[in-house]
Structure 1
Amino acid sequence: MGWQREGFETHEGEVGVLLADGSEPGPVYYDLGSGSYFHGSTDWWAYDGTLRRPTAASMRGRCACGWRGERIMPLDWERVSSAGHDAYDVSAPEEDWEAHMDDVATRALPLPDDVSGLLRALRERLDALVDDNPLLVLKAVQEAEGIVADFGPIAARYLTGDAMPLAQIAEALGTTEKAAGSCLTRYRHLYL
């Protein structure tokens, strides 16, 4: 699992690697025995050159949205093998991803304070109730789904009708274009 920030789940970050020629390698596949399925991985430590895998020369931050960090740090495989990949310092790529996320959060449309406060209070109240009265929590969730069913399709149809560019919608939601498109489609066709 990579780095995540609450509210921006489509922007999962991780350490990305580059080969000596500056290219970004594809996934490494593992043959786990007989069968037609081969497990693929993009974990940075899988590019260590063993078993004819590519050898990464450097690392940088990367995000599921397609962002790649500009700062490139060399990989020292001797230190990785002596310390173990869990102990190897990957804080610089993570710091770059955090800066990217700060930029995403800054460009995202903030909710009005009163709406944000209501949602936060609802979440806190349901969290306090769930252990003692899950049926009551389920009832509240059912009510919330009714609100979503009332307003989600209206908002999605307005946005689609206004022909707002998907990139602009994605930026305002703090998500990727693919996720924003899925969101619009889901709400536009909710309960049809």
Structure 2
Amino acid sequence: MGKRETWTTDEFGTSHEGAVGVVLADGSVPEPVYFDSGSGTGGRSVSQWSVYDGRHLRGPRAAAVRAVCSCGWTGVEHRLDWTAIGNQELVEAGDPQADACVRDWDEHTEQVEVTTVPLPDAVTGLLERLEEEIERLTRTSPVAGLRAARRMEVTAERVGYWAARGTRADLSTERAAVALGLDENAARLLLARLGGWSPYA
């Protein structure tokens, strides 16, 4: 996969990494476009949606764009009207369709959130208030805010140890991943880190 702009959420990270994907007129997904550096030292492969304008020896022309996610989900297609685009740069003329892809991916991550194990309102409220209090503290004393953040890390490691071990005893990695909104590898690494065992055990 070539370089392109991607989006993540704080909680789900690269388990649900979104991007604008390209669809060609025949329904296929194009290969990354290779840009030669011209210096003889190689180049780079790019799959950013806006390079698929069919011009200047670049890749083929996109017929539509759609949101894609590292989990395998794909959004609906948003067609590109090349008659209206004309000679405009695709990055500008296709911006409304690209923005629609971002909104589609936002809805996807909201649905992922719905499928995760729910947290009690009391816990969610406490976490939100704690974050607000530390942000407020940081505005008056950054070092005190840093100490508070470190205390949060210590607390997370302490309570996470037993949570991770209990989860390992109760659920398969696959089921834990679904409950956490992560892919299996990310869930395995999280459990191992908090539970204090090797992720390769």
TM-score normalised by the shorter chain: which range applies? Answer: 0.7 to 0.9
Q: Distance in 2 between matches of 1:154 and 1:84?
A: 52
Task: Return the match for 2:131 from 123, 126, 145.
Answer: 123
Q: TM-score, length-normalised on structure 2?
A: 0.78
Question: Are the aligned partners of 2:65 and 2:101 in contact in 1 as well (CA < 8 Å)?
Answer: yes
Is 1:41 equivalent to 2:46 in the alignment? yes
Matches within 5 A, 1:15-94: 15-34=20-39, 36=41, 38-50=43-55, 51-69=57-75, 71-78=76-83, 79=85, 81-82=87-88, 84-88=90-94, 89-90=96-97, 91-94=99-102
Deviation at 1:84, TM superposition (A): 4.6
Q: Which structure 1 residue ranges, 5 or more long, are not aligned?
A: none
Structure 2 alignment gaps of length 5 or more: none
Q: CA deviation at 1:5?
A: 4.5
The 1:125–1:179 alpha-carbon spacing in structure 2 relative to 1, beyond 3 Å, is same
Counterpart of 2:142 in structure 1 is 134
* Matched-pair identity in %: 40
Higher relative contact order (CA 8 A, sep 6+): 1
Q: What is the TM-score normalised by the length of structure 1? A: 0.82
- Whole-Å Cα distance in 2 between the matches of residues 20 and 84 of structure 1? 16
RMSD: 2.6
> In the superposition, relative to structure 1, how do residues 32 and 15 fare at CA in structure 2: closer, same or farther (>3 Å)?
same
Conserved? CA contact 1:27–1:42, under 8 Å: yes
Q: Secondary structure at the match of 1:129?
A: helix
